[in-house]
Amino acid sequence: MKAVNTLMHTDFSFKGQQSVYRGKVREVYTLENDLLVMVATDRLSAFDVVMPKGIPYKGQILNQIATKMLNYTSDSVPNWLIASPDPNVAIGKACEPVKIEMVIRGYLAGHAAREYAAGKRSLCGVEMPNGMGENDAFERPIITPATKAEQGEHDEDISVEGILERGLVSEDDYRTLERYTRLLFKKGSTLAKEAGLILVDTKYEFGRTADGELVLIDEVHTPDSSRYFYADTYEELQRKGEPQKQLSKEFVRRWLIEHGFQGKPGQTVPEMSDSYIEGVSNRYIELYEAILQESFDKADTSDLHHRIEKNVNNFLSNY
């Protein structure tokens, strides 16, 4: 791969701009008239730490998967999206984020599997049956909410009772979030099945628009927010007790662990060579093509800032 520019930081000044929020991966510009411009950078985050080097096309990949999924699910669950005028940009309605993440799990994997292996049979107040093996399917997907952590902190599991006791949302709103979560997971699972995949678990984030409507926000069914297994090898690997072949950001976490990094105090991020960065980029492209069942079209990265600024300004001038 020849040298490709990556988008690590932005410093735009859009018409009507009021504020900027810089997350680990996305930078969000709040404009007047309740508009948000969300820019997906090429930053890579793992263990709540942003890696020093960007991954070519990663922002485009995540933004395009998310916007396609938002459009795909919009007939079932309302969302914040208005348009995507640039491969790295989504524009939508400004929302006040709900302070919980709705995590749904169809299989005993990841965090749930680690808790189960430690002897726990209850997660977020939801009972998990005895006798399950790692990556076994739950009889019915379970919802295990988490609090949305402040920057630099970790999300924490929380029960429905805890959510209501702390007044994070009302009981009626929680039931709506729960219903939306199951609808989204069902649609995501159907799409995954058509692609020869299994949607194992994922998280959804919601917000409230200026007129009070609860809507889906943020990334949806991307490899950064979801775990996928390959359907054709699932049964055989389970029968043999072997690890599942999966599509997610897990391959980056495993590489970091192998190189002595888990985001703990005193640990140093290992050096990522150009060839490794290229490999990560290619892996994200594979994820895109597997999930969406379409070829990935690399956008022009010769002048990313100018391209994004021009496309967003063109949209805003005609909106």
Verify that 138 and 202 share a domain, yes or no: yes
Number of domains the chain contains: 2
Encode pLDDT of 25-78 as tens digits. Answer: 999 999 999 999 999 999 998 888 889 999 999 999 999 999 999 999 999 999
CATH of the domain at 170: 3.30.470.20
* Burial per residue of 47-56, b for 16 or more beta-carbon CB atoms within 10 angstroms, e otherwise: bebebebbbb
Verify that 177 and 238 share a domain, yes or no: yes
Whole-number average pLDDT of the chain? 92
> Does residue 259 lie within any of the structural domains?
no
Verify that 70 and 101 share a domain, yes or no: no
Write down the pLDDT at residue 155. Answer: 72
> Does residue 5 lie within any of the structural domains?
no
Encode pLDDT of 219-261 as tens digits. Answer: 899 888 899 999 999 999 999 999 998 877 778 888 998 999 9
Encode pLDDT of 135-181 as tens digits. Answer: 999 999 999 999 976 554 557 899 999 999 999 999 999 999 999 99
Verify that 143 and 223 share a domain, yes or no: yes
Percent of the chain residues topping a pLDDT of 70: 97
Write down the pLDDT at residue 118. Answer: 95
SS3 162: helix
Under the banding of pLDDT at 50, 70 and 90, the label for residue 296 is very high
Domain with 37, as residue range(s), is 17-95+269-318
CA distances to 66, 81, 119, 256 from 38, in Å: 12, 10, 41, 28
* Mean pLDDT within 205-225: 91
Would the pLDDT of 1 be above 80?
Answer: no
Would the pLDDT of 218 be above 90?
Answer: no
Would the pLDDT of 101 be above 70?
Answer: yes
Query: Who contacts 298 (Cβ-Cβ below 8 Å, separation ≥6)?
Result: 57, 60
Write down the pLDDT at residue 149. Answer: 61
> Does residue 208 lie within any of the structural domains?
yes
Under the banding of pLDDT at 50, 70 and 90, the label for residue 207 is very high
- Cα separation, 106 vs 244, whole angstroms: 14
Domain end call among 215, 247, 279: 247
Verify that 106 and 207 share a domain, yes or no: yes
CATH of the domain at 284: 3.30.200.20
> Does residue 82 lie within any of the structural domains?
yes
Cβ atoms of 312 and 86 closer than 8 Å: yes
Write down the pLDDT at residue 245. Answer: 85
Verify that 129 and 183 share a domain, yes or no: yes
Write down the pLDDT at residue 263. Answer: 87
- Cα separation, 85 vs 152, whole angstroms: 31
Verify that 155 and 205 share a domain, yes or no: yes
Verify that 78 and 112 share a domain, yes or no: no
Verify that 132 and 238 share a domain, yes or no: yes
Write down the pLDDT at residue 2. Answer: 56
Write down the pLDDT at residue 231. Answer: 96
Write down the pLDDT at residue 102. Answer: 97
> Does residue 32 lie within any of the structural domains?
yes
Helix (H) or strand (E) holding 240: helix 231-240
Write down the pLDDT at residue 152. Answer: 47
Under the banding of pLDDT at 50, 70 and 90, the label for residue 3 is low
> Does residue 136 lie within any of the structural domains?
yes
> Does residue 189 lie within any of the structural domains?
yes
> How far separated are the first and last CA of the chain, in Å rounded?
38
Write down the pLDDT at residue 253. Answer: 84
> Does residue 9 lie within any of the structural domains?
no
Verify that 102 and 138 share a domain, yes or no: yes
